[in-house]
Structure 1
Amino acid sequence: MGRNAVSRRRHSRMLAGLGAFIAGLIVSAPAFAICQVIADGAFGPARIYKAAVETGSVRIQYIGHSTFEIETPGGIRIATDYNDQIRPPLPPTVATMNGAHSTHYSLAPDPDIQHLLPGWNPDGSPVDYDLTVGDVRIRNIQTNIRGWEGDSRRLGNSIFVFEVGDLCIAHLGHLHHQLTEEDLLRLGQIDVVFAAIDNSTTLRMESMMKVLNDIRPAMVIPMHFHFPGALQAFAARAASDGYQISMDTDSEHVVSRTNLPAQRTVHIMLPKS
């Protein structure tokens, strides 16, 4: 049996198991929220693209591990935690990375990437991004990180925030500590959060739930759940905290202001097979 066939079978088994686990918990409803900052051409001259995504929407595809591809109505594609093992099929316009380890950054990025944004400096000095690429504003908030030996690496991770139209999306990266009041103020109102829920190499579950409850996004999309049972444990814990649990049968999801859930929701996406 070929590798692709094995991958498809594993994907199907995982999908079936998780579907059974969260049966009866799936709820979706419209909501109305206010984004912190509008990045709709306010930071530079207008540019014209052939739109692959409807105006007001953002396409999200889960590539794997902590890598998502975000596509805007203007055709800008962003890969989060771009690395040398798991990549989108085409080079993104923008690639963000953090310094956790090799599955979170690339030593050989594709030369066609227009904007490569490491979320840390090797010398430990700050990195501060605030740029607009087409119809998306990208900014970061640095956090500390923990090495394999338990040592603290100051400013080794960045939370990247993507502001598209009236949506604000945050990728927490390899977060290793709870957020300060200043961090939360700089984040502002976030609609969608990508959160590592491994309960091991990043934050323990109680600390991650505290972070999510502090940010209060409408939608949490789990990532970094490569340890057996991590996703099921997080879904159960989130449900006990009052989150709705929804599961996507695809690796892609289109988000817009009109389809944000009214109740805080954990939206589970499986990696692209």
Structure 2
Amino acid sequence: MLRPSAAVLLTLAFWPFAASAQEEPPPSRCVAIAEALPSATYASFTVPKAQTSQLAQAFVDGDVTITYAGHSTYVIETPAGVRIATDFSGVYGADPLPRVVTMNKAHRTHYSDHVDPGIEYVLRGWNPDGGPARHALVVDDVYIRNVPTDIRNGGDLGKDGNSIFIFEVAGLCIGHLGHLHHRLEDAHYGAIGRLDILMVPIDGGMTLSLDRMTEITARLYSSMILPMHRHSTPISEFTGRMGDDFAVEFLSGRSLTVSLKTLPDRPTIIILEGV
């Protein structure tokens, strides 16, 4: 079987979001070659750019630690020690202080206007100036990008109010659906690409119904699914809808360590303590 070149893989990874359903590209391979990432801002590399790809590659085989902090906040710790908190409101995941936070504006529990000045990078899933938010940021060994989606505002959908954030690190592609309010179109799936690890809200109503959320989860078909934003929904209502193709595993702690080599062979829904 022929293996596509890095140049081809990068083309697939960053296929224009506006592609139509008929032009849907193959899934992204999430190639984390920092020097070749188009339109990326290099936030913390201090070495010459010619060396950045070598530096990023040094962490490809490392372990990533993921901790459920609460609500929709997972804390991702990269092999280089970059700490990222998702859907950050300041209530969860603030101690120790993350270096990067992502936010969505559906509710006050998913963002904060009062961020500790010690947090270096605050990535909002909406653009305060209007239009979609666009993030393409390299921080040491992690590349962070976003796919804009709309958000419910009363009975209507507000344009570009949410983002699906994607973290490419150690050869893994980790996606956080945020406060998703609508079905994804083919263009969204094309922009997201392959996700090895998916963080999915399962509240069943404030975001999407469980039927819609399981539809999205099944199509993305990630190796590891991490539920969040559960509220009172029984876990079994989500896992039961996913069917026999997905294993279910309950862990006793709030954290797990994963690498590209240790991903489960079968798609697995992993419920960490506190979810």
Q: TM-score normalized by structure 2?
A: 0.79
Does residue 233 of structure 1 match 2:226?
no
Q: Which residue of 2 aligns with 1:36?
A: 29
Instruction: Name 2:182's counterpart in structure 1.
Output: 177
Identity %: 40
Q: 1:259 aligns with which of 245, 262, 271?
A: 262
5+ residue gaps, structure 2, are: 1-26, 38-48
Count of matched residue positions in the alignment of Structure 1 and Structure 2: 234
Distance 1:181 1:136, change over 3 A: same
The alpha-carbon distance between structure 1 residues 269 and 199, as it changes in their structure 2 partners (threshold 3 A), is: same
Q: Secondary structure at the match of 2:225?
A: strand
> What is the Cα deviation at residue 169 of structure 1?
0.2
Asked if residue 109 in structure 1 is aligned to residue 115 in structure 2, the reply is yes
Conserved in 2, the CA contact under 8 Å of 1:199 and 1:230? Answer: no
CA contact (8 A) 1:243 1:266 kept: yes
- Counterpart residue number, 1:160: 165
2:215 aligns to what SS in structure 1? Answer: helix
Aligned to 1:128: 134
Residue equivalent to 2:7: none
Q: How does 1:67-106 map to 2 (within 5 A)?
A: 67-106=73-112
- Give the superposition deviation at 1:109: 0.7
Measured after TM superposition, the shift of residue 233 of structure 1 is: 1.5
Classify 1:35/1:234 alpha carbon distance in 2 versus 1 (closer, same or farther; 3 Å): same
SS of corresponding position for 1:103: helix
Query: How far apart are the structure 2 equivalents of 1:40 and 1:90?
Result: 29
Aligned-residue offset at 1:111 = 0.5
Displacement after TM superposition at 1:48 (Å): 7.7
Q: Map 1:195-206 onto structure 2 (within 5 A).
A: 195-206=200-211
Please list every run of 5 or more consecutive structure 1 residues that lacks an aligned counterpart in the other structure.
1-33
Q: Which runs of 4+ in 1 moved over 3 A?
A: 40-49
**Partners of 1:39 and 1:48 in 2: CA distance:** 11
**Helix, strand or coil: the match of 1:137?**
strand
1:271 to partner: Cα distance = 3.0
Which structure has the higher relative contact order (CA within 8 Å, separation 6+)?
A: 1
Contact 1:220 1:265 in 2 (8 A): yes
Deviations 1:55-106 (A, max 9, x none): 4221000000000110001111110001033233121111000111101001
Superposition TM-score, scaled by structure 1 size:
0.79
The farther-off stretch of 86-95 and 62-71 is 86-95
